[in-house]
Structure 1
Amino acid sequence: MLMEGFNQGVIPLLGFAMLALAVVAFVLALVARVDAYPAADKQTKTFWLVILGVTVLVDSFLPMLFLQIIGLVATIVFLVDVRPALKQVSGGGGGRSKGSSSDGPYGPYNGGR
């Protein structure tokens, strides 16, 4: 009875979460500049779009856990390794000023000194 509820409630939610994460990674890979990938010493933009696109398709239409886990690993690698490198090469910082790490939203934090 417990496994029945798990299979009907939790597993579909995990599948949806993996699909959402893959879609976010695909969109982020799509909007990144083509020249940023080799500049960051990563695989090409086409490579990542194919890998993440296949992941989205597998998560959407082919619910095989083994393939979904492989896609999840690829998605995590993109989000944790490739995307930060692309942001660094592209000068991404969200438009914030290049202040100290102790800067707050209204200026530097000096610890009450």
Structure 2
Amino acid sequence: MGTVMLVLQIGVLVMAVYAFIHAALQRADAYTAAEKLTKPVWLVILGLAVALTSILSFVFGVLGMAISACAAGVYLVDVRPKLLEIQGKSR
């Protein structure tokens, strides 16, 4: 069971770090043009997701991982495609 949790934690951490880096590299005006939360708000949300998964994992455990996965997932599935579309980078 411990190995499975470690693999899940690493997966969620990688996803949250990727989402944070992607959010940091986008233009601030693209967030408002996409009618999403502002860039600083997303950076705080995703930064907390990274912290919950890495530094605070011993306190929050599975709950922290679930919260982090949800936050990063919402960004990657909902916000990221809109930002890419607005900036003309969509596939």
TM-score computed with the length of structure 1 as normaliser: 0.74
SS of the residue corresponding to residue 54 of structure 2 reads helix
Query: What is the alpha-carbon distance in structure 2 between the residues aligned to residue 93 and residue 47 of structure 1?
Result: 23
Query: What is the alpha-carbon distance in structure 2 between the residues aligned to residue 52 and residue 92 of structure 1?
Result: 22
Q: 5+ residue gaps in structure 2?
A: none
Displacement after TM superposition at 1:93 (Å): 3.4
Is 1:89 paired with 2:86?
Answer: yes
Is 1:49 paired with 2:46?
Answer: no
Corresponding position of 1:77: 74
Is 1:25 paired with 2:22?
Answer: no
Larger Rg: 1
Structure whose residues are more often helix by fraction: 2
Query: What is the alpha-carbon distance in structure 2 between the residues aligned to residue 55 and residue 14 of structure 1?
Result: 14
Query: What is the alpha-carbon distance in structure 1 between the residues aligned to residue 43 and residue 65 of structure 2?
Result: 16
Q: Is the 8 A contact 2:81 2:90 kept in 1?
A: no
* Structure 1 segments (4+ residues) deviating >4 Å: none
Corresponding position of 1:35: 29
Report the identity percentage.
Answer: 42
Corresponding position of 1:65: 62
CA RMSD of aligned residues (A): 1.0
SS of the residue corresponding to residue 69 of structure 1 reads helix
Higher relative contact order (CA 8 A, sep 6+): 2
Query: What is the alpha-carbon distance in structure 1 between the residues aligned to residue 87 and residue 12 of structure 2?
Result: 27
Query: What is the alpha-carbon distance in structure 1 between the residues aligned to residue 79 and residue 70 of structure 2?
Result: 13
